[in-house]
Amino acid sequence: MSTYEHLLSPITVGNVPIRNRVMMTSHVTNFAADDGTASDRHVAYYGDRAKGGIGLIVMGFPGVHETSRNNAREVDGFTDAVIPGLSRIADEVHRHGTKMFMQLGHSGRQQNGLWTKREVWGPSAIPCPAVGEMPKAMELEDIDAIVEGHAATAVRAKQAGMDGVEIHSGYGGYLLSSFVSPYMNRREDEYGGSLENRTRLLHRTLEAVRAAVGPDFVVGIQVQGHDYSPGGIELPEAQEIARRIAASETVDYMVVKASTYGSDGQNIPDMQHPRGLWLGLATSIKEAVPAMPIFAVGRLNDPEIAEQALRSGHVDMVAMTRQHISDPETVNKLIADRREDVRGCIACNQGCIDMLFKAAPITCVHNPAAGNERQLGIGTLAPAANAKRVVVIGGGPAGLKAAEVAARRGLDVTLLERRNQLGGQLRLAASVAGREELGETIRWLRHSAEQHGVDVRVGVDADADAVLALEPDAVVVATGSAPRRELIGNKSFGIWEVPGLDSEHVISVWNLLEDDAPVGDSVLVVDDGEGSWKSASVALQLAGRGHRVKLATTLPYVGAKLGAFTQQKLLPRLFSSEIELHPFTNVVGVEPGLVHVSSAGASKTLDGVETVVLAGWHAPVADVYFDLKDRVGQLERIGDALASRTMLEAIHEGERAARAI
């Protein structure tokens, strides 16, 4: 009996047989062509997930009306021009045995009019807390247009060869759900007030879609289990809404989700949230509509958790969406009993949903092929044309990635790491409370490198002569970066000369996490503009251990460069802690017990500071690169050794460097 007996068992939804119970929910990709049609990038992206064995993919989400576009690079579903591209996607996915549904949606007030060149629509003139653009309160003719738009777009999906459609409805604050929830709907006409009125548009839409596609085409719906927002839908009302939808006999399945853009980052929950956080809601909806197939979502990236959810009988299918961005071959690996080969999603959101806010195509920190399938996807890694000896210097994420990809190409690879452990800065980051899941990246890279025969040597301080003694044909320098004993100012982003930074009580995050340097009772953590997790996570950890913590940043707020969903959870944690926050603050001098700062142009002194922890920008460590320059046949410098950035750049550059050898 398979460990994943339920996960890998077939299911029939409506009249569509699906080979297993793993699905990929709709999500923003930003892959659309300039004219709003599907692109070759879409075809390759969804095609690789189908090759990997997943049962069902839901494409998201072509807008049903010209007033809706979730981003600059999303598909427009409201014209017939979209049909040929959708057909190519459906054909490619079907070729590999996966079923394909298409989501129908309207962003409502949760979009920016820049994308549509139109006003934003909503049930009432209440702006979205995340976007902040005032919507137009829809008129009755607007409501009619939305109903007609859903029906017409559903027909286009059917004509394109999709197996079904899914209504992006009762979830998250998008258009239909904003009518359903009193949190967003203050109307006084037949579309506001009572539950019957608030669900009127939803039911009209479902009835119109069903009439348009006929009784034998699958129609699903996303439903909200809980708004987690003041004045919003709570579970008992969500159950009643589900019962009413089921009684209408217009849908074949329900996807249970939760939260709004006003919640604490739960829309796309990152590693700050527990795995399977919405399973209880899905179970409760199943209790309300026991005959309805219920699909569960929400941090089900772990196959064991997904299997248990199905084994309980409380849900019928599980979404492993970000897991399949990280590893499109997850299902095939589970079928082949290769669990250790699965590249686990770490729920960092950095490469996927965070790209939405940058209007950039999605990718994955852990999987450079995501969004780049035509160049880096399944079957694209060419064996090396010639036998070559490759030396990789540095066992952090960049070096490990370069080593494992080069080894998979059949090259003879030796990896040299100065420390006695692999992982580099990622290993240190994973040692901080709440950031442990980062360790999965190190585990997988180490596992793949060793599996493919990389000669890993730790505790080796590789200078140029030691490297040349190995007679390499190619060298990849991934020596990372190190903390600065200087700060970057927030006005000119030049080096900020600070007297006293060489004091013994001034330490770096590395000293704290790796060397276990002693820390006084009162600590000042300093971020000089790096603006990511480093300062925030260290401050929270120190506060959790009982230290009195101050946190100074040159930016408007701590974590200012993190993604929006991450900030929604992190910032309330910081504000509710006893950490004393100092935004717009430069450290200008350090003395024993005193730190002099310039805060928003005013000078002041923070007293009683026993330890200063520098948690800002790093400087590249690249001496060996310059010592080797012009002395080896091919020399590559990647990751932080090139410029201090994030694990995304490190891992992606490792992949590309290894392919270039």
User: Is 174 designated active site?
Assistant: yes
For residue range 159-186, list pLDDT tens digits in order.
999 999 999 976 778 999 999 999 899 9
What is the rounded CA–CA span in Å between residue 113 and residue 343?
38
For residue range 352-397, list pLDDT tens digits in order.
999 988 889 999 999 999 999 999 999 999 999 999 999 999 999 9
CATH number of the domain to which 627 belongs: 3.40.50.720
Question: E strands within 107-228?
Answer: 121-122, 136-137, 164-167, 218-224
| Residues 368, 271 share a domain | yes
**DSSP conformation class of 262:** T
| Helix 279-288 with 235-248: angle, nearest 10 deg | 50
Question: E strands within 368-509?
Answer: 389-393, 412-417, 455-458, 474-477, 481-483, 487-488, 495-496, 506-508
* Structure confidence at residue 1 (pLDDT): 52
Burial label for 459, CB within 10 Å (0-12, 13-18, 19+), is exposed
592: closest CA among 614, 613, 608? 608
| Residues 302, 202 share a domain | yes
Q: Are 136 and 122 in contact (CB under 8 A)?
A: yes
Domain annotation covers residue 384: no
| Residues 489, 478 share a domain | no
Torsion 207-208-209-213 (CA) sign: positive
Q: Which three-class secondary structure string do you get for 42-94?
A: HHHHHHHHHHCCCCEEEECCCECCCCCCCCCCCCECCCHHHHHHHHHHHHHHH
Q: Which two tokens stand for residue 269?
A: 């929950």
Confidence of residue 497 (pLDDT cuts 50, 70, 90): confident
For residue range 190-236, list pLDDT tens digits in order.
999 999 999 999 999 999 999 999 999 999 999 999 999 889 999 99
Domain annotation covers residue 332: yes
For residue range 36-80, list pLDDT tens digits in order.
999 999 999 999 999 999 999 999 888 999 999 877 688 999 999
Mean pLDDT, residues 134-149 taken together: 97
Q: Using the predicted structure, report yes or no on whether residue 657 has a pLDDT greater than 70.
A: yes
| Residues 42, 26 share a domain | yes
Q: How far is CA 359 from the centre of its chain?
A: 14
Q: Using the predicted structure, report yes or no on whether residue 265 has a pLDDT greater than 70.
A: no
What is the rounded CA–CA span in Å between residue 516 and residue 627?
32
| Residues 286, 138 share a domain | yes
| Residues 517, 582 share a domain | yes
Pinpoint the alpha helices (H) of 498-555.
509-513, 533-544
Domain annotation covers residue 562: yes
Q: Using the predicted structure, report yes or no on whether residue 632 has a pLDDT greater than 80.
A: yes
Question: E strands within 480-633?
Answer: 481-483, 487-488, 495-496, 506-508, 522-527, 548-553, 580-582, 585-591, 593-599, 602-609, 611-614, 618-620
What is the rounded CA–CA span in Å between residue 534 and residue 167?
40
What is the rounded CA–CA span in Å between residue 216 and residue 237?
30
* Structure confidence at residue 454 (pLDDT): 98
| Residues 316, 233 share a domain | yes
Domain annotation covers residue 2: no
Mean pLDDT, residues 137-158 taken together: 98
Q: Report the half-sphere exposure of 289 (CA within 13 A, side-chain side).
A: 30
* Total domains, the chain: 3
> Residue written as tokens 């069903």?
210
Q: Which of 376, 405, 430 is the last residue of a domain?
A: 376
Q: Which of 376, 405, 421 is the last residue of a domain?
A: 376
* Structure confidence at residue 490 (pLDDT): 61
* Structure confidence at residue 646 (pLDDT): 96
What is the rounded CA–CA span in Å between residue 302 and residue 308?
10
Average confidence score pLDDT of the chain: 94
Q: Using the predicted structure, report yes or no on whether residue 492 has a pLDDT greater than 80.
A: no
Each residue of 372-407: b (16+ CB within 10 Å) or e?
A: bbeebbbeeeeebeeebebbbbbbbbbbbbbbbbbb
353: closest CA among 39, 23, 26, 645? 26
Q: Which two tokens stand for residue 221?
A: 């719906």
Mean pLDDT, residues 495-513 taken together: 93
| Polymer length of the chain | 661
Element (H, E) at 253: strand 253-257
| Residues 187, 291 share a domain | yes
Burial label for 578, CB within 10 Å (0-12, 13-18, 19+), is exposed
509: closest CA among 522, 498, 519? 519
- Domain extent, residue 306, equals 20-376
> Residue written as tokens 């539950």?
195
Q: How far is CA 179 from the centre of its chain?
A: 28
Determine how β-strand 548-553 pairs with β-strand 522-527: parallel
Domain annotation covers residue 111: yes
Using only C-alpha atoms, the chain has a radius of gyration, in whole angstroms, of 26
Sequence-separated (6 or more) residues with CB below 8 Å from residue 292: 242, 246, 251, 253, 254, 286
Pinpoint the alpha helices (H) of 581-646.
623-628
Mean pLDDT, residues 575-588 taken together: 94
Domain annotation covers residue 222: yes
Domain annotation covers residue 213: yes
SS3 329: coil
Q: Of 4, 45, 174, 625, which residue is the catalytic one?
A: 174
What is the rounded CA–CA span in Å between residue 176 and residue 222?
10
| Residues 326, 246 share a domain | yes
* Structure confidence at residue 263 (pLDDT): 76
299: closest CA among 75, 565, 540, 69? 565
* Structure confidence at residue 172 (pLDDT): 74
| Residues 86, 139 share a domain | yes
State the distance between the two ends of the chain, measured CA to CA, in whole angstroms: 43
| Residues 236, 136 share a domain | yes
What is the rounded CA–CA span in Å between residue 227 and residue 260?
6
CATH number of the domain to which 563 belongs: 3.50.50.60
CATH number of the domain to which 309 belongs: 3.20.20.70
Q: Which of 376, 404, 433 is the last residue of a domain?
A: 376
| Residues 541, 526 share a domain | yes
393: β partners: 416, 477
Domain annotation covers residue 591: yes
* Structure confidence at residue 508 (pLDDT): 97
Question: E strands within 441-529?
Answer: 455-458, 474-477, 481-483, 487-488, 495-496, 506-508, 522-527
Pinpoint the alpha helices (H) of 327-376.
330-335, 373-376
Sequence-separated (6 or more) residues with CB below 8 Å from residue 576: none
